[in-house]
Structure 1
Amino acid sequence: MTTLTKTETTEFLSEIEAIYEQPLAYRLRASSKWVSKPFKERNFFEKVASIELANKRNYEVQPKNPKPPPIHNIWIERFWLCYTIPPALIIQRLWYYLVSETSYFHAWHPLFAFLFYYIAFFVFITQVAKRSQYYMNYYGTFDEENRPRDYVPDKLVTRLVMSVNIYMMARTAGGLILGGYDRNTPPSLGHTISWFFVVKVGLWLIALDFFFYCYHRIVHIVPFLWRIHSLHHCTKHPTALQSILAGDIQELIEIFLVPFAASMIMPLTAHEFWIAQCVLIYMEAGGHSGIRAYWPHVILYEVLKPFGMEICIEDHDLHHRYGKSGMNYGKQTRIFDRIFGTHCDRVECVQK
């Protein structure tokens, strides 16, 4: 399977827009015949895309759950991140400790560091996808009594895989460059990683959310920009890795320019950037998973909760259901949605 031509992309977006014009109850689901193939008969891109497939029940309408969404214990997620993010940093640190400084192989060349962290990022993203799928099945998903989660359409399988690859390469290289990677300095708490790295990462995510909010709101308002962004909105009920599904121009803005702008406001070291990008993709995957639980931000929850500016999974799930009309443009916080009046009331996560 090859990537979509400009004409094919235009035709597909026209189909999506036609679907959006129909009442919600009658909206069709794009063709996804690839999921019915035996795994060995799928092509390369389809096999890689299989990583994002959740339990079959998540793709079928379920009986309405009369109980309110449970409150997920955010400390479970914090502990999970504490043993899934550090391994890459620990491995590099151990290498520098065990390999003699006189050895040619002691210091990691930037190209080797890029390859190592690229692979580590792929492993982390795979773990995030599997964790999201587990909880999608455990808790169910939002709005599942009306419409289940959507498969990646046949026409976009290659695009999804390519988008994930571009995302991993750009974020890995960008972190090393923006963070000023020093081949002679291994990860070290109190040195290359501040003792207050949680605060720094939190501030970086807020800065990133500001620039993302501005860009995101504009592409929903300006018609020709919506044509670009609508590829990401080809589903109103996405799954975790569909958070990365986007067109070329959107990828340029979201993957390169927005993080660059945030780094000008809140600079991070290369190793702090690794932590930040892991938290970032973890939150974006969760926001697109539709997990039916009150599941807030792992870093910013307690800080923003008193102001009603904390974000949870349902907020971005509602954003996809609104489509072009928008609401809930932020993906890490609701700070700017609150300030500019673009937040909407939650439907299921209504705390008494």
Structure 2
Amino acid sequence: MEKPLNKDSMKSTWRTADRKEWNHNHWALELLNAHPQDLNKEVPVHSKDEKIPYMPQWSLQRWVLFYSALPLIFHQTYMMATGRTLGPFATFNLYFFAFNATVIYQVHHERDGVPDVGIAKVVTSLYKTTGSRLVMATYLCYNRDALPSSLSWTWLPLEIGLYGIILDFWFYWYHRLMHDVGFFWKFHRTHHLTKHPNPLLAAYADHEQEFFDMVGVPFMTYASLRLLGLPMGFYEWWVCHQYVAFAEVFGHSGLRMHLTVPTTLSWLLQMVDAEIVIEDHDLHHRKGWRKSHNYGKQTRLWDKIFGTCTERIESVEENIDYENVAKMPLF
């Protein structure tokens, strides 16, 4: 009798196994080319004091705004050309497709592979992560008669910046409790099975964690901004989601590069040395139960305020090669 796979195993051999043994989840990752690594490419190894490239904020902002705008432009064009509105179901599917397409486009990095025992978990996490947020946004604030161009252009830059900071406050405490309280850690430990995560493993977690991460924290952020009197309509929330998702994907990419999470309040976070870089969350994954640090995922602001920041190793000022500038390609 074949021995059942260990549910905590991170062994990733499925891509070299007999494809006749694959199910629809294996084929979904294959057909979408949503692989974190190239099996024929050797993973590069760098010394800790080898300087790292720099990627400026404008390059990241351009990418997020471009891909945020595509479904908005399509939605606007459809309504103006046909005189029809999109109902909640059609709207959800349009933005759900756009959200998943954008995330999948970001996931190609050389890191730990998707584990054999976690294929289904990874595939379902893709649509649960994006779908749950959009179901909530559609239900709470979609107005079928409002054109995408009606979003609050005056408030949008402030909303983008505050959304990341306020979401990170709620995420910080939820995340820290997950590490410090035994009852919660049992739901978070799966996420920490990988010490070298890839973007596809950003939502590799138990259902209970996924629910609070993808529904509870965004809802608290939305409610907080509404209490502050900011509009936070469906279209504004969509753009904010894109900024947050971008940070989540890159925070688990492990790219050896100095880039700070894009935000319209980057200048403010820079003033208090609270910008977050890829290495910060990567270092978080080196630790687990009651031993971790760097709980924020959008900023380092709350880690600095509550004393849980740790020192960077490679992404320190003297190790950044500002002359070796990388750009985020649009295509």
The alignment's TM-score, normalised by the length of structure 1, stands at 0.81
User: Judging changes above 3 Å, is the alpha-carbon distance between structure 1 residues 76 and 177 closer, same or farther for their aligned structure 2 residues?
Assistant: same
TM-aligned CA deviation for residue 63 of structure 1: 5.0
Q: C-alpha displacement at 1:41, in angstroms?
A: 6.2
Distance 1:57 1:316 in 2: 27
Query: Which residue of 1 is the match for residue 239 of structure 2?
Result: 275
| 1:51-200 matches, cutoff 5 A | 51-56=34-39, 60=43, 62-64=45-47, 66-100=49-83, 106-130=84-108, 133=109, 149-178=111-140, 180-188=141-149, 191-200=150-159
Give SS of 1:292's match: coil
Q: 1:38 to 1:94 in 2, by over 3 A?
A: farther
Secondary structure at the residue paired with 1:70?
A: strand
Pairing partner for 1:326 from 276, 292, 295? 292
RMSD (CA atoms): 2.1
Question: Is the aligned partner of 1:288 residue 2:266?
Answer: no
Q: Deviations over 1:214-243 (max 9, x none)?
A: 010011011232111011111000111211
Cα distance, 1:288 vs structure 2: 0.2
Asked if the contact 2:165/2:298 (under 8 Å) is kept, the reply is yes
Q: 1:42 to 1:60 in 2, by over 3 A?
A: farther
Per-residue deviation, 1:57: 7.2
User: When you count helix as a share of all residues, which structure comes out higher?
Assistant: 1
Distance in 1 (alpha carbons) for counterparts of 2:248 and 2:288: 17
Contact 1:52 1:239 in 2 (8 A): no
Who is 2:16 aligned against? 36
Q: How far apart, CA to CA, are the structure 2 residues paired with 1:241 and 1:284?
A: 10
Question: 1:162-311 maps to which residues of 2 (within 5 A)?
Answer: 162-178=124-140, 180-188=141-149, 191-267=150-226, 268-299=232-263, 300-311=265-276
Relative distance call for 1:273 and 1:59 in structure 2 (3 A) is farther
Which whole-Å CA distance do the structure 2 matches of 1:239 and 1:59 have between them?
16
Tell me if the contact between 2:164 and 2:298 (Cα under 8 Å) persists in the aligned partners.
yes
Q: Which amino acid aligns with 1:301?
A: S
3-state DSSP class of the match of 2:317? coil
**Residue in 1 aligned with 2:326?**
none
Amino acid at match of 2:273: G
What SS does the aligned partner of 1:291 have? coil
Instruction: Please tell me whether residue 351 in structure 1 is matched to residue 325 in structure 2.
Output: no
| Secondary structure in 2 matching 1:321 | coil
- The answer to whether the Cα contact below 8 Å between 1:164 and 1:245 also exists between their aligned partners in 2 is no
1:148-198 deviation line (CA, Å, top 9, x unaligned): x211211111111111111121111112223x111111101xx32332312
Deviation at 1:53, TM superposition (A): 2.4
Offset at 1:12? 3.1
Measure, in 2, the Cα distance between the counterparts of 1:75 and 1:41.
45
Cα distance, 1:248 vs. partner? 0.8
| Structure 1 unaligned blocks of 5 or more | 1-7, 16-29, 101-105, 137-148
Q: Distance in 2 between matches of 1:65 and 1:307?
A: 26
Query: Identity of counterpart residues, as a percentage?
Result: 31
Contact 2:247 2:298 in 1 (8 A): yes
| Residue pair 2:36, 2:199 contacting (<8 A) in 1 also | no
Residue 7 of structure 2 corresponds to residue 12 of structure 1: yes
Q: TM-score, normalised by structure 2?
A: 0.86
Preserved CA contact (<8 Å) 2:48 2:313 = no
Contact residue 187 and residue 193 of structure 1 kept, 8 A: no
Q: 1:89 to 1:40 in 2, by over 3 A?
A: farther
Identify if the C-alpha distance between structure 1 residues 295 and 63 changes in structure 2 by more than 3 Å, giving closer, same or farther.
closer
Matching residue of 1:18: none
Q: 1:270-322 CA distances to partner (integer Å, 9 max, x unpaired)?
A: 00111111111111000000011111011143221121111011000000012
Q: Distance in 2 between matches of 1:59 and 1:215?
A: 37
